[in-house]
Amino acid sequence: MIALPEVRGKLLRNEPLAPYTWFRVGGAADALFIPADAEDLADFLKALDPAVPVTVLGVGSNVIVRDGGVEGVVIRLAGRPWAHITTDGDTVTAGAGALDSMVAKASAKAGIAGLEFYAGIPGTIGGALTMNAGCYGSETKDVLVSAWGLTRAGERVDYDLADFGYTYRHSQAPADIIWIEATYRGAADEPEAVAARISEITSRRETTQPIREKTGGSTFKNPEGYSSWKLVDEAGWRGKLHAETGEGAKFSELHSNFMINPGEATAADIEGLGEAVRADVLAKTGVQLEWEIKRIGRAG
C-alpha cells in the first residue's frame, strides 16, 4: 500500500473511477485525492514519494480509464476552491476545475466576447489547457493569456501562451504539470450578443453530437486534409452495433467520430473498437488515425 501524506482535502483509497468519467468505464485509482486548495495540493506533492505516479482528471470527458484502474494517485480538482471565475475588463480568470461552459456564461454576463466556443465543450479549464480544446473555428490558444500550475514536485510554474507550444489538440507543456488557474483575454461586446452566440452553439451541439450518451467526444484527431468522422463513416463503422463487431461499444449514428458505451461496455471494448477502426481505416485508405481521447491506466 502506498504511503500517503496527511491532507486537508479528501483522500480515498481504491476509489472506482468510472463514475468520474463520461464513458462510465474503468477500474479504481490506488488513491483519489481531491485537494482542499492549491496549498493542500502543493504540500501533498512535496511530501509524496516521488516514485508514486500522479495522474490528473478533469471531468473525464476526453478519457478512457482502463479496466485495471490507475496506479498511484489520481488528482481531481473538483468543488468550489477549484471552480472560481472572475472577470476584469476584457480579462477572465478561471480555476482549473471550472467548467468551460460556466466560463463562457460568465464571460457573456461580463460583456466579453471570444470565449463563446467554450459553451460547446463539456470539460474543465484544466482539460482545455491540456487539450487546446476548441470548436467551431476557435481554440483555447486564441484567447489564453497565461496559466499557472504545480509540478510533480509541488513547485509553482507560470506559463505564458507561447510556452504551451500549442498545436491542434496538443500542448507541448510537460505532461506532469497540474494546471491550477488560467487567464484569458476577449474583447468587449454587448452581453446579449455574446449570450445569443452561446445559444447558437449549444443548440447546434444538441443536434450534431450525442451529448446525452456515455461518450468521450471526438475519438480521433482530424488528420491533415481529412475529417475523421468521414473516414470512420466511409469505412462502414457509423452506428455499427456491438453485436456485429462483437464488442460492447459502437461509433455514434449521430456523429461517426464519437464512440459510445451503449450500456455495459468495458474500457477494453471501447479502446479495442477504436484500435479496430484505426487498423481498418489504415488498410482501406492508407490514413493513420491518431487518438484524441487519452487512455490512462492498466489493462484489466
Ligand X SMILES: Cc1cc2nc3c(=O)[nH]c(=O)nc-3n(C[C@H](O)[C@H](O)[C@H](O)COP(=O)(O)OP(=O)(O)OC[C@H]3O[C@@H](n4cnc5c(N)ncnc54)[C@H](O)[C@@H]3O)c2cc1C
Cβ at position 283, least distance to ligand X in Å: 27
Out of 15, 116, 247, 292, pick the active-site residue: 292
- What is d(CA 137, CA 157) in angstroms, rounded to the nearest whole number? 29
The 17-56 contact track toward ligand X, x by CB under 6 A, reads -----x---------------------------------x
Of 136, 130, 21, which is closest to residue 67 (Cα–Cα)? 21
Active site residue 218: yes
The 175-194 contact track toward ligand X, x by CB under 6 A, reads ---xx---------------
Candidates 41, 59, 195, 231; binder of ligand X (CB under 6 A) is: 59
The three cell numbers locating residue 125: 479549464
Q: Which residue has the cell 487512455?
A: 295
Candidates 35, 62, 183, 270; binder of ligand X (CB under 6 A) is: 62
Out of 218, 228, 252, 256, pick the active-site residue: 218
The three cell numbers locating residue 45: 506533492
Residues 114-173 that bind ligand X (CB under 6 A): 120-124, 126-128, 130-131, 133-135
* Residue 198 engages ligand X in binding (rule: CB under 6 A): no
Active site residue 155: no
Candidates 32, 78, 96, 103; binder of ligand X (CB under 6 A) is: 96
**E-only strand ranges, 46-194:** 54-57, 63-65, 70-76, 85-88, 91-95, 112-113, 134-135, 138-139, 144-150, 156-160, 178-185, 187-188
249 within 8 A of 259, measured Cβ to Cβ: yes
Q: Which helix (H) or strand (E) holds 255?
A: none
Nearest CB to ligand X, comparing residues 10 and 294: 294
Q: Which residue has the cell 470548436?
A: 135
Question: Quick one: CA dihedral 66, 68, 73, 79, positive or negative?
Answer: positive
Residue 58 DSSP SS3: coil
Candidates 29, 45, 70, 77; binder of ligand X (CB under 6 A) is: 77
The residue count for binding ligand X (CB under 6 A) is: 32
Q: Which residue has the cell 482542499?
A: 36
Nearest CB to ligand X, comparing residues 56 and 111: 56
* Residue 101 engages ligand X in binding (rule: CB under 6 A): no
Enumerate the active-site residues. 169, 218, 292
- Residues forming the site for ligand X (CB under 6 A): 22, 56-63, 77, 96, 120-124, 126-128, 130-131, 133-135, 178-179, 209, 211, 215-217, 294
